[in-house]
Chain A
Amino acid sequence: GENVEQHPSTLSVQEGDSAVIKCTYSDSASNYFPWYKQELGKRPQLIIDIRSNVGEKKDQRIAVTLNKTAKHFSLHITETQPEDSAVYFCAAALSGNTPLVFGKGTRLSVIA
């Protein structure tokens, strides 16, 4: 089955700097790669997703890149703000309505 590896497990950046989180996956059949932000005790919040027919997607300060050949995808957050501090999870799935396999998460701390 699918296996998703996520790095780093913790990341501290100064406010205004960029943050990059990387994930790799094992199943070449996966076509849907969402990123979630989760605050303590809350449901995961989708921040951006990408499908396999696209190499890059951007939404304001957030961008995701996908390399299907190498089976890895990355989250880029620019101009980080203290409210970006949270746990971020990557995931992989066959499609948007199939089971998600999550990475282990990255705890991002943005220091003001």
Chain B
Amino acid sequence: GAVVSQHPSWVICKSGTSVKIECRSLDFQATTMFWYRQFPKQSLMLMATSNEGSKATYEQGVEKDKFLINHASLTLSTLTVTSAHPEDSSFYICSASPDSVSTEAFFGQGTRLTVV
């Protein structure tokens, strides 16, 4: 089956620093990838849609200048949390599906971000 790999699986950073999270589709091409955020004991909420070769589309309330998304190739999207603050601490998870068929969403392992 299709595999999506996300790194790192966990990261601790100091307030004010930036953190980059990578999402790779290992065995398929994905023009579009999605980034979700999940706070403790809550549901997954879509943050943004990452589009290869063009600007990401952000959901209402998500600051595009704080959460930088780059989708430079058909197999890699990155999410950079800039000037991180403790309230950004969350579980970030990406998903993608093969371009060729409309199948299920394949999720990365998720990244647990803790800002101290």
List A residues at the B interface (Cβ < 8 Å): 34, 41-44, 46, 49, 89, 93, 95-97, 99-105
Contacts and interface: CB of A to CB of B under 8 A. Distances in A.
Interface of B: 32, 34, 36, 42-46, 49, 91, 93, 95-99, 102-105, 107-110, 112
B44 A99 contact: no
B46 A105 contact: no
Nearest to A95: B102
Contact of B104 (A34, A41, A104, A105): A34
A104 B102 contact: no
> Which of B45, B49, B102: most chain A Cβ within 10 A?
B102
A43 B108 contact: yes
A14 B46 CA distance: 34
A110 B25 CA distance: 35
A96 B96 CA distance: 9
